[in-house]
Amino acid sequence: MTDRRPLTDLTEEEKMFRDSVADFAEREVQPLVDEMDREQKLDPDLMQKCFEVGLMGIEIPERYGGAGSSFFNAILAIEELSKVDPSVAVFADVQNTLVNNAISRWATDEQKEEYFPKLANNWIGAYALSEPNSGSDAFAMKTRAEDEGDHWRINGTKLWTTNGAEADVYVLFANVDPDKGYRGITAFLVEREFDGFAVGKKEDKMGIRGSSTVELQLDDCIVPKENVLSDVGNGYKVAMETLNEGRIGIGAQMVGLAQGAFDHAMNYITEREQFGQPVAEFQGMQFQYAQLAAEMKTVRLLTYNAARKKDAGDPYKREAAMAKLRGSQVAEKVASQCLEFFGGVGFTKEYPAEKYFRDAKIGSIYEGTTNMQLQTIADMVLEEYE
């Protein structure tokens, strides 16, 4: 039965979980944010701590060593981490909403036995779909998989792979029969140590710099037959349905990012005085932050709604697209205006405003661009009137 309680009402267990993640983010993540952004990599000890507190296997069943919790709790975790550092948030996001969800939905029992205990304990997962000539048109991919009897031989290049520099296993897509178009696309579980697999160039990004984004090279990569995820030729469905879940995660990342930027800015303008009073008390400022607060609230509702529907087993494709669309738009707006609230110091690295501003931009690009979300929403709206 669908959960009908108000979307922003959390159970006591959800509140406790949210608060525990918030405490972890402030205690363990906050002191490392500037260094990780500067060095363009996540702290190795911090990554392991994410496993130790259960943030990397939130929905993995307890029998495999996971937390056995809900998708909604994964969304709460991503939001809380994003308030402090969106780079750490997307590290956990990809693991939970893409990799773990794909395995949960499509893997055999044997594959779950093999990979879930590792992903819950210390293995990092990544999701490899995009290619040099295959972005929004994801299924124009050139990566090929050849059936060689007892194994598959994969050749090709993947780009924009989040978590790729650190990952131990990749949900990777290749076409086994180009003549069939997207019906030839197949999902594979590819381990880092497989022969013929290599991590290539690491991107030098504007934002979420602590999160790795890399090229993957497959040169006669040998993948066991049992590492096909779902059926041969079912990769299109695996990718699309997994990305729908992932877009809710990006919505949560953007909600948290916006809230983090807003909290820092509000703390600043309630203390900063000009013309004999706090900046926050000028009506011109009040109207601006009131508007931002209202827009953040709507995005949080959209995101929570999509997550609740996913957990309830209800259709959520349109809601996921809306959460991702509005989340990225509102995060950019909030991060930009909050930088302005700081005045000149907001344009420096002395305060965190400029980092939130840089981090926000990716929301309109990855896991489906703004135009792709608009197309999804438009198609579903049109269906209602045909």
For residues 173 and 207, membership in a common domain is answered with: yes
- Does one domain contain both 221 and 249? no
Answer yes or no: do 248 and 374 share one domain.
yes
Split into its structural domains, the chain has a count of: 3
Residues 175 and 262 in one domain: no
Domain identity same for 256 and 375: yes
* β-bridge pairing 169-175 and 273-274: unpaired
Per DSSP, the chain holds a count of helices (H) and strands (E) of 12, 10
Residues 6+ apart with CB under 8 A from 69: 17, 58, 59
226: in domain:
yes
Residues of the chain with pLDDT under 70: 1-8
Please list the residues that pair with 228 across neighbouring strands: 188
* Catalytic residue of the set 367, 383, 384, 386: 367
| pLDDT at residue 4, rounded to an integer | 45
Residue type, 20: S
pLDDT score for 8: 62
pTM over 0.75: yes
Output the domain CATH number for residue 159: 2.40.110.10
Domain C-terminal end among 124, 143, 158: 124
Buried b (16+ CB within 10 A) or exposed e, 80-106: bbbbbbbbbbbbbbbbbbbbbbbbbeb
What residue has token string 């110091």?
345
Per-residue pLDDT tens digits for 289-320: 999 999 999 999 999 999 999 999 999 999 99
Phi, psi dihedrals of residue 198, rounded to the nearest 5°: -150, 145
Which structural domain range is residue 230 located in? 126-234
Contacts 24+ apart (CB under 8 A), 131-138: 131/156, 131/157, 131/158, 131/159, 132/157, 132/159, 135/160, 136/368, 136/369, 136/371, 136/372, 138/239
Q: What angle do CA 58, 64, 69 make, to 5 degrees?
A: 25
Q: Which of 173, 203, 234 is the last residue of a domain?
A: 234
Tokens matching residue 184: 């030839």
For the domain that residue 83 is a member of, what is the CATH number? Answer: 1.10.540.10
**Closest C-alpha to 4, from 236, 312, 342, 273:** 312
pLDDT number for residue 139: 75
Cβ-based neighbour number of residue 230 at 10 Å: 18
User: What is the distance between the alpha carbons of residues 187 and 141, in angstroms, rounded to a whole number?
Assistant: 13
**110 and 179 housed in the same domain:** no
Shared domain check, 37 and 166: no
Domain match, 357 and 224 both: no
Is 114 an annotated catalytic residue? no
How far is residue 306's CA from residue 316's CA, in Å, rounded to a whole number? 6
Please state, in angstroms and rounded to a whole number, the distance separating the CA atoms of residues 105 and 115. Answer: 13
Same structural domain for residues 115 and 156?
A: no
Closest to 100 (Cα-Cα) out of 116, 81, 113: 116
The closest of 300, 301, 143 to 235, measured between CA atoms, is 143
Classify the phi-psi angles of 204: left when phi > 0, otherwise alpha if psi is within -120 to 50, otherwise beta: beta
- Boundary-marking domain end, from 60, 93, 124: 124
Q: Is the four-CA dihedral 51, 95, 42, 254 of positive or negative sign?
A: negative
Q: Both 116 and 227 in a single domain?
A: no
For 215, the enclosing helix (H) or strand (E) is strand 213-224
